[in-house]
Protein backbone atom coordinates (compact mmCIF):
# COMPACT_ATOMS: atom_id res chain seq x y z
CA UNK A 1 0.00 0.00 0.00
CA UNK A 2 1.31 3.43 -0.84
CA UNK A 3 2.13 5.84 1.95
CA UNK A 4 -0.21 8.80 1.63
CA UNK A 5 0.87 12.38 1.92
CA UNK A 6 0.31 14.17 5.22
CA UNK A 7 -3.28 15.53 5.18
CA UNK A 8 -2.53 18.23 7.76
CA UNK A 9 0.05 21.03 7.76
CA UNK A 10 3.52 19.65 8.27
CA UNK A 11 5.48 20.67 11.36
CA UNK A 12 9.20 20.98 11.57
CA UNK A 13 10.95 18.28 13.55
CA UNK A 14 12.80 19.41 16.66
CA UNK A 15 16.26 20.76 16.11
CA UNK A 16 17.40 18.37 18.83
CA UNK A 17 17.07 14.59 18.70
CA UNK A 18 13.45 13.62 17.94
CA UNK A 19 11.38 12.69 20.97
CA UNK A 20 9.64 9.37 21.43
CA UNK A 21 5.99 10.19 22.06
CA UNK A 22 3.78 7.50 23.59
CA UNK A 23 0.29 8.52 22.51
CA UNK A 24 -1.55 6.05 24.75
CA UNK A 25 -1.03 6.12 28.50
CA UNK A 26 -3.56 5.85 31.31
CA UNK A 27 -3.39 6.81 34.98
CA UNK A 28 -3.49 3.24 36.28
CA UNK A 29 -1.44 3.91 39.41
CA UNK A 30 -3.72 6.44 41.06
CA UNK A 31 -3.61 7.00 44.85
CA UNK A 32 -5.95 4.89 46.91
CA UNK A 33 -7.86 8.01 47.98
CA UNK A 34 -9.24 8.29 44.43
CA UNK A 35 -10.48 4.69 44.51
CA UNK A 36 -12.11 5.31 47.88
CA UNK A 37 -13.88 8.36 46.46
CA UNK A 38 -15.14 6.40 43.46
CA UNK A 39 -16.37 3.53 45.64
CA UNK A 40 -18.29 6.00 47.79
CA UNK A 41 -19.73 7.67 44.70
CA UNK A 42 -21.00 4.32 43.44
CA UNK A 43 -22.36 3.37 46.88
CA UNK A 44 -24.28 6.65 46.94
CA UNK A 45 -26.32 5.53 43.94
CA UNK A 46 -28.19 3.26 46.36
CA UNK A 47 -27.72 5.29 49.51
CA UNK A 48 -27.42 9.05 48.85
CA UNK A 49 -26.21 9.59 52.41
CA UNK A 50 -22.89 8.05 51.36
CA UNK A 51 -22.28 10.58 48.58
CA UNK A 52 -18.74 11.92 48.86
CA UNK A 53 -17.78 15.54 48.29
CA UNK A 54 -15.42 16.21 45.42
CA UNK A 55 -14.04 19.15 47.36
CA UNK A 56 -13.28 16.77 50.20
CA UNK A 57 -11.00 14.61 48.06
CA UNK A 58 -7.53 15.57 49.21
CA UNK A 59 -4.57 14.26 47.21
CA UNK A 60 -1.30 16.12 47.68
CA UNK A 61 1.21 16.98 44.99
CA UNK A 62 3.67 14.63 46.66
CA UNK A 63 1.15 11.79 46.43
CA UNK A 64 0.69 12.51 42.73
CA UNK A 65 4.44 12.59 42.14
CA UNK A 66 4.84 9.28 43.92
CA UNK A 67 1.95 7.67 42.04
CA UNK A 68 3.52 8.17 38.59
CA UNK A 69 6.96 6.84 39.49
CA UNK A 70 6.24 3.53 37.66
CA UNK A 71 5.51 5.42 34.44
CA UNK A 72 8.60 7.59 34.83
CA UNK A 73 10.74 4.53 35.50
CA UNK A 74 9.52 2.82 32.34
CA UNK A 75 10.02 5.99 30.32
CA UNK A 76 13.66 6.08 31.37
CA UNK A 77 14.27 2.36 30.90
CA UNK A 78 12.51 2.04 27.55
CA UNK A 79 13.73 5.25 25.97
CA UNK A 80 10.45 7.13 25.69
CA UNK A 81 10.19 10.82 26.46
CA UNK A 82 6.60 11.98 26.83
CA UNK A 83 3.29 10.20 27.35
CA UNK A 84 -0.11 11.47 26.29
CA UNK A 85 -1.84 10.68 29.57
CA UNK A 86 -5.52 10.15 30.37
CA UNK A 87 -7.60 8.72 33.20
CA UNK A 88 -7.78 4.94 33.54
CA UNK A 89 -9.85 3.75 30.57
CA UNK A 90 -11.50 0.87 32.39
CA UNK A 91 -12.28 3.25 35.23
CA UNK A 92 -14.24 5.75 33.12
CA UNK A 93 -17.28 3.59 33.89
CA UNK A 94 -19.76 5.48 31.75
CA UNK A 95 -22.37 2.78 32.33
CA UNK A 96 -22.39 3.49 36.07
CA UNK A 97 -24.95 5.88 37.52
CA UNK A 98 -26.35 8.94 35.82
CA UNK A 99 -25.04 11.76 33.66
CA UNK A 100 -24.45 13.70 36.86
CA UNK A 101 -22.38 10.82 38.27
CA UNK A 102 -20.28 10.74 35.12
CA UNK A 103 -19.84 14.51 35.05
CA UNK A 104 -18.50 14.67 38.60
CA UNK A 105 -16.24 11.64 38.08
CA UNK A 106 -14.86 13.06 34.83
CA UNK A 107 -14.15 16.44 36.39
CA UNK A 108 -12.31 14.86 39.31
CA UNK A 109 -10.33 12.55 37.03
CA UNK A 110 -9.40 15.27 34.54
CA UNK A 111 -8.24 17.61 37.28
CA UNK A 112 -5.77 14.99 38.50
CA UNK A 113 -4.40 14.49 34.98
CA UNK A 114 -3.96 18.24 34.68
CA UNK A 115 -2.11 18.39 37.99
CA UNK A 116 0.21 15.56 36.95
CA UNK A 117 0.96 17.25 33.63
CA UNK A 118 1.70 20.45 35.54
CA UNK A 119 4.00 18.67 38.00
CA UNK A 120 5.81 16.75 35.23
CA UNK A 121 5.46 18.97 32.14
CA UNK A 122 8.33 17.26 30.29
CA UNK A 123 6.84 13.79 30.79
CA UNK A 124 3.06 14.02 30.47
CA UNK A 125 0.57 15.82 28.23
CA UNK A 126 -3.10 15.58 29.17
CA UNK A 127 -5.91 13.72 27.42
CA UNK A 128 -9.43 14.18 28.75
CA UNK A 129 -12.22 11.89 29.88
CA UNK A 130 -15.69 12.79 28.59
CA UNK A 131 -18.76 12.58 30.88
CA UNK A 132 -20.63 10.16 28.65
CA UNK A 133 -23.66 8.26 29.88
CA UNK A 134 -25.91 5.70 28.13
CA UNK A 135 -28.84 7.31 26.34
CA UNK A 136 -27.57 10.83 27.03
CA UNK A 137 -26.81 12.90 23.95
CA UNK A 138 -23.10 13.53 23.36
CA UNK A 139 -23.84 17.28 23.37
CA UNK A 140 -23.71 16.85 27.14
CA UNK A 141 -19.92 16.39 26.89
CA UNK A 142 -19.16 19.67 25.15
CA UNK A 143 -18.66 21.76 28.29
CA UNK A 144 -16.10 19.32 29.72
CA UNK A 145 -14.38 19.04 26.34
CA UNK A 146 -13.99 22.81 26.22
CA UNK A 147 -12.76 22.94 29.81
CA UNK A 148 -10.14 20.27 29.13
CA UNK A 149 -8.82 22.02 26.04
CA UNK A 150 -9.14 25.68 26.98
CA UNK A 151 -8.35 25.55 30.72
CA UNK A 152 -6.11 22.50 30.98
CA UNK A 153 -4.41 22.56 27.60
CA UNK A 154 -5.31 18.94 26.86
CA UNK A 155 -4.60 17.86 23.30
CA UNK A 156 -7.34 15.23 22.85
CA UNK A 157 -10.10 13.27 24.55
CA UNK A 158 -11.00 9.61 24.86
CA UNK A 159 -14.30 8.87 23.12
CA UNK A 160 -16.24 5.80 24.23
CA UNK A 161 -18.20 4.31 21.29
CA UNK A 162 -20.26 2.22 23.73
CA UNK A 163 -21.14 4.00 27.00
CA UNK A 164 -23.35 1.02 27.96
CA UNK A 165 -20.27 -1.13 28.65
CA UNK A 166 -20.73 -3.90 26.10
CA UNK A 167 -24.43 -3.73 25.20
CA UNK A 168 -24.13 -1.14 22.37
CA UNK A 169 -27.44 0.63 22.97
CA UNK A 170 -26.54 4.08 21.59
CA UNK A 171 -26.31 5.00 17.90
CA UNK A 172 -23.06 4.22 16.05
CA UNK A 173 -20.27 6.79 16.01
CA UNK A 174 -21.26 7.79 12.50
CA UNK A 175 -24.83 8.75 13.43
CA UNK A 176 -25.82 12.42 13.56
CA UNK A 177 -26.45 11.84 17.28
CA UNK A 178 -22.69 12.47 17.69
CA UNK A 179 -22.36 15.40 15.28
CA UNK A 180 -22.56 18.30 17.79
CA UNK A 181 -19.60 16.81 19.65
CA UNK A 182 -17.65 16.40 16.42
CA UNK A 183 -18.41 19.98 15.45
CA UNK A 184 -16.84 21.15 18.71
CA UNK A 185 -13.83 18.85 18.26
CA UNK A 186 -13.27 20.32 14.79
CA UNK A 187 -13.66 23.85 16.13
CA UNK A 188 -11.09 23.14 18.88
CA UNK A 189 -8.92 21.16 16.43
CA UNK A 190 -8.48 18.16 18.74
CA UNK A 191 -8.69 14.45 17.90
CA UNK A 192 -10.27 11.63 19.87
CA UNK A 193 -8.93 8.24 20.74
CA UNK A 194 -11.82 5.81 20.30
CA UNK A 195 -11.59 3.86 23.56
CA UNK A 196 -14.22 1.84 25.38
CA UNK A 197 -14.31 1.55 29.16
CA UNK A 198 -15.00 -1.45 31.37
CA UNK A 199 -17.23 -4.26 30.17
CA UNK A 200 -20.53 -4.66 32.01
CA UNK A 201 -21.46 -7.62 29.80
CA UNK A 202 -20.17 -10.95 31.18
CA UNK A 203 -19.80 -12.28 27.64
CA UNK A 204 -16.92 -9.90 26.98
CA UNK A 205 -13.69 -9.84 28.93
CA UNK A 206 -12.79 -6.18 29.34
CA UNK A 207 -9.29 -5.86 27.88
CA UNK A 208 -9.19 -9.12 25.92
CA UNK A 209 -12.52 -8.88 24.09
CA UNK A 210 -14.43 -5.64 24.78
CA UNK A 211 -11.48 -3.37 23.96
CA UNK A 212 -10.68 -5.15 20.70
CA UNK A 213 -14.38 -5.37 19.80
CA UNK A 214 -14.69 -1.62 20.28
CA UNK A 215 -11.72 -0.88 18.05
CA UNK A 216 -12.93 -3.18 15.28
CA UNK A 217 -16.53 -1.99 15.50
CA UNK A 218 -15.51 1.66 15.23
CA UNK A 219 -13.40 0.93 12.16
CA UNK A 220 -16.30 -0.82 10.42
CA UNK A 221 -18.68 1.98 11.36
CA UNK A 222 -16.35 4.46 9.70
CA UNK A 223 -16.30 2.35 6.51
CA UNK A 224 -20.07 2.28 6.22
CA UNK A 225 -20.56 6.03 6.63
CA UNK A 226 -19.89 9.39 5.08
CA UNK A 227 -18.60 10.78 8.38
CA UNK A 228 -15.35 12.16 7.01
CA UNK A 229 -17.09 13.69 4.04
CA UNK A 230 -19.11 15.69 6.56
CA UNK A 231 -16.06 16.34 8.78
CA UNK A 232 -12.98 16.31 6.52
CA UNK A 233 -10.62 17.49 9.31
CA UNK A 234 -11.97 15.25 12.08
CA UNK A 235 -9.24 12.93 13.43
CA UNK A 236 -9.80 9.60 15.15
CA UNK A 237 -7.14 7.34 16.67
CA UNK A 238 -8.08 3.68 16.98
CA UNK A 239 -5.97 2.07 19.73
CA UNK A 240 -4.61 -1.44 20.22
CA UNK A 241 -3.32 -1.56 16.66
CA UNK A 242 -6.81 -1.07 15.26
CA UNK A 243 -8.30 -4.23 16.76
CA UNK A 244 -8.91 -6.79 14.02
CA UNK A 245 -8.66 -4.26 11.19
CA UNK A 246 -5.03 -4.76 10.04
CA UNK A 247 -5.26 -8.54 10.32
CA UNK A 248 -8.44 -8.59 8.18
CA UNK A 249 -7.60 -5.66 5.91
CA UNK A 250 -8.57 -7.62 2.80
CA UNK A 251 -12.01 -8.28 4.24
CA UNK A 252 -12.55 -4.59 4.93
CA UNK A 253 -11.25 -3.54 1.53
CA UNK A 254 -13.61 -6.06 -0.05
CA UNK A 255 -16.59 -4.95 2.02
CA UNK A 256 -15.95 -1.32 1.10
CA UNK A 257 -15.70 -2.33 -2.56
CA UNK A 258 -18.95 -4.30 -2.39
CA UNK A 259 -20.66 -1.25 -0.87
CA UNK A 260 -19.36 0.90 -3.77
CA UNK A 261 -17.21 2.89 -1.35
CA UNK A 262 -13.88 4.47 -2.31
CA UNK A 263 -10.66 2.60 -1.48
CA UNK A 264 -9.78 2.65 2.21
CA UNK A 265 -6.87 5.06 1.80
CA UNK A 266 -9.25 7.57 0.23
CA UNK A 267 -12.25 6.75 2.44
CA UNK A 268 -10.57 6.71 5.87
CA UNK A 269 -6.85 7.18 6.02
CA UNK A 270 -6.82 10.95 5.91
CA UNK A 271 -8.73 10.86 9.20
CA UNK A 272 -8.17 7.54 10.98
CA UNK A 273 -4.94 6.54 12.69
CA UNK A 274 -3.70 3.47 14.58
CA UNK A 275 -1.46 3.09 17.60
CA UNK A 276 1.12 0.38 18.31
CA UNK A 277 -0.39 -1.20 21.43
CA UNK A 278 0.21 -4.65 19.97
CA UNK A 279 2.09 -6.92 22.33
CA UNK A 280 4.17 -9.18 20.14
CA UNK A 281 6.54 -8.61 17.23
CA UNK A 282 4.56 -10.58 14.60
CA UNK A 283 1.51 -8.43 15.28
CA UNK A 284 3.57 -5.25 14.95
CA UNK A 285 4.96 -6.57 11.67
CA UNK A 286 1.46 -7.10 10.28
CA UNK A 287 0.44 -3.59 11.35
CA UNK A 288 3.39 -2.04 9.53
CA UNK A 289 2.97 -4.19 6.43
CA UNK A 290 -0.69 -3.26 6.05
CA UNK A 291 -1.18 0.28 7.36
CA UNK A 292 0.68 3.24 5.82
CA UNK A 293 3.43 4.49 8.11
CA UNK A 294 1.87 7.99 8.12
CA UNK A 295 -1.12 6.48 9.95
CA UNK A 296 0.80 4.70 12.73
CA UNK A 297 1.53 6.36 16.08
CA UNK A 298 3.81 4.87 18.71
CA UNK A 299 2.05 3.78 21.90
CA UNK A 300 2.45 1.24 24.68
CA UNK A 301 -0.48 1.75 27.12
CA UNK A 302 1.92 1.26 30.01
CA UNK A 303 1.20 0.60 32.84
CA UNK A 304 -1.93 -0.98 31.50
CA UNK A 305 -3.78 -3.96 30.15
CA UNK A 306 -0.87 -6.44 30.17
CA UNK A 307 1.72 -5.98 32.89
CA UNK A 308 3.71 -9.22 32.81
CA UNK A 309 6.96 -10.28 31.20
CA UNK A 310 6.88 -12.38 28.03
CA UNK A 311 8.91 -15.57 28.72
CA UNK A 312 9.76 -15.78 25.01
CA UNK A 313 11.58 -12.44 25.02
CA UNK A 314 12.30 -11.69 28.65
CA UNK A 315 10.77 -8.23 28.09
CA UNK A 316 7.52 -6.73 29.26
CA UNK A 317 4.72 -7.42 26.80
CA UNK A 318 3.90 -3.71 26.64
CA UNK A 319 7.47 -2.69 25.78
CA UNK A 320 6.33 -1.98 22.24
CA UNK A 321 9.33 0.20 21.40
CA UNK A 322 11.43 -2.98 21.55
CA UNK A 323 9.37 -4.49 18.72
CA UNK A 324 9.47 -1.34 16.58
CA UNK A 325 13.21 -0.89 17.07
CA UNK A 326 13.64 -4.33 15.46
CA UNK A 327 11.76 -3.35 12.29
CA UNK A 328 13.71 -2.43 9.14
CA UNK A 329 12.36 1.13 8.96
CA UNK A 330 14.09 4.07 7.37
CA UNK A 331 15.16 6.82 9.75
CA UNK A 332 12.51 9.08 8.26
CA UNK A 333 9.74 6.54 8.84
CA UNK A 334 11.00 5.77 12.34
CA UNK A 335 10.89 9.48 13.17
CA UNK A 336 7.31 9.68 11.91
CA UNK A 337 6.14 6.78 14.05
CA UNK A 338 7.93 7.88 17.21
CA UNK A 339 7.22 11.59 17.02
CA UNK A 340 6.21 13.21 13.75
CA UNK A 341 2.78 11.59 13.37
CA UNK A 342 1.84 12.37 16.96
CA UNK A 343 2.93 15.98 16.52
CA UNK A 344 0.70 16.24 13.46
CA UNK A 345 -2.38 14.35 14.68
CA UNK A 346 -2.40 15.83 18.20
CA UNK A 347 -1.12 19.28 17.18
CA UNK A 348 1.62 18.95 19.78
CA UNK A 349 3.45 22.04 18.56
CA UNK A 350 0.78 24.04 20.38
CA UNK A 351 1.91 22.64 23.74
CA UNK A 352 4.48 24.34 25.94
CA UNK A 353 6.70 21.25 25.78
CA UNK A 354 6.91 21.28 22.02
CA UNK A 355 7.27 25.04 21.81
CA UNK A 356 10.37 24.64 24.00
CA UNK A 357 11.70 21.78 21.87
CA UNK A 358 11.00 23.55 18.60
pLDDT tens profile 264-281: 999 999 999 999 999 999
- pLDDT-above-90 percentage for the chain: 90
Mean pLDDT of 234-250: 98
Residue with more model confidence, 14 or 314: 314
Above 90 in pLDDT, residue 304?
Answer: no
Query: How much is the pLDDT for 335?
Result: 96
**Spatial separation of the C-alpha atoms in residues 165 and 21, rounded to whole Å:** 29
- Confidence band (pLDDT; 50, 70, 90) for 305? confident
In tens, the pLDDT along 188-239 reads 999 999 999 999 999 999 999 999 999 999 999 999 999 999 999 999 999 9
Q: Which of the residue ranges 11-20, 36-45, 258-267, 319-328 would you say has the lowest mean pLDDT?
A: 11-20
Query: How much is the pLDDT for 251?
Result: 98
* Catalytic residue, candidates 30, 104, 144, 301: 301
- Confidence band (pLDDT; 50, 70, 90) for 18? low
Query: How much is the pLDDT for 4?
Result: 30
Above 80 in pLDDT, residue 354?
Answer: no
In whole numbers, what is the pLDDT of the chain averaged over residues?
93
Query: How much is the pLDDT for 355?
Result: 65
Mean pLDDT of 259-264: 96
Query: How much is the pLDDT for 358?
Result: 55
pTM, two decimal places: 0.93
Active site residue 100: no
- Confidence band (pLDDT; 50, 70, 90) for 72? very high
The answer to whether 27 and 302 are in contact (CB under 8 A) is no
Query: How much is the pLDDT for 351?
Result: 84
Query: How much is the pLDDT for 11?
Result: 38
In tens, the pLDDT along 286-297 reads 999 999 999 999
**Three-state SS sequence of the chain:** CCCCCCCCCCCCCCCCCCCCEEEEEEECCCCHHHHHHHHHHHHCCCCHHHCCCHHHCCCCHHHHHHHCHHHHHHHHHHCCCEEEEEECCCCCCCCCCCHHHHHHHHHHHHHHHHHHHHHCCCCEEECEECCCCCCCCHHHHHHHHHHHHHHCCCCCEEECCCCCCCCCCCCCCCCHHHHHHHHHHHHHCCCEEECCCCCCCCCCCHHHHHHHHHHHHHHHHHHCCCHHHHCCCCCEEECHHHCCCCCCHHHHHHHHHHCCCCCHHHHCCCCEEEECCCCCHHHHHHHHHHCCHHHEECCCCCCCCCCCECCCCCCECCCHHHHHHCCCCCHHHHHHHHHHHHHHHCCHHHCHHHHHHC
Query: How much is the pLDDT for 13?
Result: 41
Q: What is the CA radius of gyration of the chain?
A: 19
Amino acid sequence: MNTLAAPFPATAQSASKPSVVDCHGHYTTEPEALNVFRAAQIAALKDPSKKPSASGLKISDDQLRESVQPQLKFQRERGTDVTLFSPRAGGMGHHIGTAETSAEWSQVSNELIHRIATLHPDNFIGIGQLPQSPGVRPDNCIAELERCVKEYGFVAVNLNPDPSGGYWRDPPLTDRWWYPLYEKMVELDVPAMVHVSASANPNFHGTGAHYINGDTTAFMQFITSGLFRDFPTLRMVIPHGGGAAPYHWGRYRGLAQDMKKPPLDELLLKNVFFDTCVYHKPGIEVLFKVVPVDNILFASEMVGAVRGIDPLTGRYYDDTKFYIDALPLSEADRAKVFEGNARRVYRLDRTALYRRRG
